[in-house]
Amino acid sequence: MNFVNINEKRKRNLKQVSYFKRTEAQDRDRILLKYFGEDGVNKIIGEVTAKIFELEKERLKILDVGAAQGFSRVKFLKS
């Protein structure tokens, strides 16, 4: 794979992310909040955050496989 193909793939991926954020992310947020409720979402975020901090690592890569636009990430960064 040459450099041009890599850049084209990145551009396609960025377009997909942008499309998702514009069209689907807020709907998924509403679905999660309706299903779990705000307390349930906060509990999940708290559990995940606690497990991450238990690792006691200076650097950590986290794969974000969230179903929504990132309200959990914002709450995690605030904690």
- Read off the pTM: 0.52
C-alpha span between 58 and 1 (Å, rounded) = 34
The Cα angle at residue 19 between residues 44 and 61, in degrees rounded to 5: 45
pLDDT top residue among 13 and 78: 13
Residue 70 contacts residue 41 (beta carbons within 8 Å)? no
The closest of 39, 21, 42, 41 to 31, measured between CA atoms, is: 41
**pLDDT 10s digits, 11-52:** 887 787 777 777 777 788 888 889 889 899 889 888 888 988
